[in-house]
Amino acid sequence: KPVAVEPRHLIQVEMFCHKYSTGSLPMLPDATTSTPVAKVSQYACQRRTTTANSNKIFTDAFEVLAESYEFNEMEGQSLAFRRAASVLRSLPSKIQSLRDAESLPFLGKHSIAVIEEILQCGFSMEVQKILSNERFKTLKLFMSVFGVGLKTAEKWYRKGLLSFTRGLFPTGFLHYGDISRAVSKAEAQALGNIIDETVHAITSDALLTLTGGFRRGKDFGHDVDFIVTTPEMGKEEHLLTAVIESLKHQGLILYCDYRASTFDMSRLPNHKFDAMDHFAKCFLILRLDGSRVEGGLCGAEGDGRGWRAVRVDLVSPPMKQYAFTLLGWTGSKQFERDLRRFAQKERHMLLDNHALYDKTKRELLAATTEQDIFAHLGLQYIEPCQRNA
């Protein structure tokens, strides 16, 4: 059913640009106050990265550049900036001079030049230009719609659609205003309570775990991610469908995209990495009542509704794959990428959300906890709150 989109949603673009404009005073390089940076690993899984980012001014700029390269299908350059941003996020303090930056992994000529410009004048001309680029702004806006990726956004852009038109796009615009607004920790907690009650009313020994950004200690997220499973072998998919039924019954489901499991134990290991795992899952939009949220809804619109729509993902692996799923869904994306790269390059192993495979021994390595997986990889354990790479 088509959903009307109001012009106020176009404010998104402005808000986005505002988010990335620095607004702060120029920082001048000062050789006397700079401290030498300790040796930093090229792998995010060997770095500890909390949510306290001392280099936000640089990493925001790098993320814009990474995104711009991605929009132009220059994956190599895009990844280079994502890696450089990730390295800077792990540093305990702000970069004060070029000397600090030059010794770091993945900081090449281009990223160093951007840092230099920001150190000198507080912003990067190149980044400012991207942020005011019509195509970049439009793709960004289109991709802020749930379910719209680069391909669709590009198609719409080529058709000459510069902004949303009333009634044009059906499903993605369902509750657009609500789901383009960040979810708070208290809201995530409230959803956790609701789903926990629902799950345990179905199976008393079910296991529900909050994962994604909130497990890493973030205060806000674009959605809330949960793993739900049961020790009863082969019953996890049934549990997920029962949970969906119950949520529907409670009148909490505004949208549900259910994907049945395509997981096949006998086909492990996966030699080709899939972007998504094969477990049963659902992408939901749930109705969250303000009365369930401690301190009320985040940024309540004052429209008197007393509820908001929230994006929620549920994934349901068999208990045997629980630890791998937990590690995979906890993120961050950059942390996951580097875990897999480390496993492959340094240990000759294949890691994904289903399993860890030792290519030398030609065997799957079992794990019941995340600690087991880090140990198999010969890595120091990194707490979820230190995985904000």
Buried b (16+ CB within 10 A) or exposed e, 42-59: ebbbbbebbeebbbebbb
Q: Cβ distance 83 to 334 under 8 Å?
A: yes
> What does the alpha-carbon distance between residue 299 and residue 213 come to, in Å, rounded to a whole number?
20
- 214: number of Cβ within 10 Å: 25
Total of residues contacting ligand DCT (CB under 6 A)? 14
Residue of 223, 277, 338, 352 with catalytic role: 223
Is there a catalytic annotation at residue 225? Answer: yes
Q: Is 313 a catalytic residue?
A: yes
Q: Which amino acid is at 205?
A: D
From the candidates 289, 313, 358, 372, give the one annotated as an active-site residue.
Answer: 313
On the CB side of 222, how many CA atoms lie within 13 Å of its CA? Answer: 7
Site for ligand DCT in 348-387 (CB under 6 A): none
Residue 332 interacting entry, from Mg ion, ligand DCT, none, C-beta within 5 to 8 Å by type? ligand DCT
- From candidates 248, 333, 345, 361, binder to ligand DCT by CB under 6 A: 333
Q: Among residue numbers 268 through 287, which ones bind ligand DCT (CB under 6 A)?
A: 275
Residue closer to ligand DCT by CB (options 223, 236) is 223
Measure CA of the first residue to CA of the last residue in the chain; give whole Å: 39
Under 8 Å between Cβ of 325 and 279:
yes
Per CB under 6 A, the list member of 96, 144, 332, 334 interacting with ligand DCT is 332
Cβ–Cβ under 8 Å, residues 124 and 116: no
Q: Active site residue: 225, 277, 338, 352, which one?
A: 225
Binding Mg ion (rule: CB under 5 A), the pick from 139, 142, 212, 215 is: 212
**Looking at 225, 277, 336, 370, which residue binds Mg ion (CB under 5 A)?**
225
Compute and round to an integer the Cα radius of gyration of the chain: 22
CB of 59 to ligand DCT, least distance (A): 15
**Applying CB under 6 A, which of residues 9, 222, 305, 376 lies at the interface with ligand DCT?**
222
Residues forming contacts to ligand DCT in the complex (CB under 6 A) are: 212-213, 218, 221-223, 225, 275, 328-329, 331-333, 336
Active site residues: 223, 225, 313
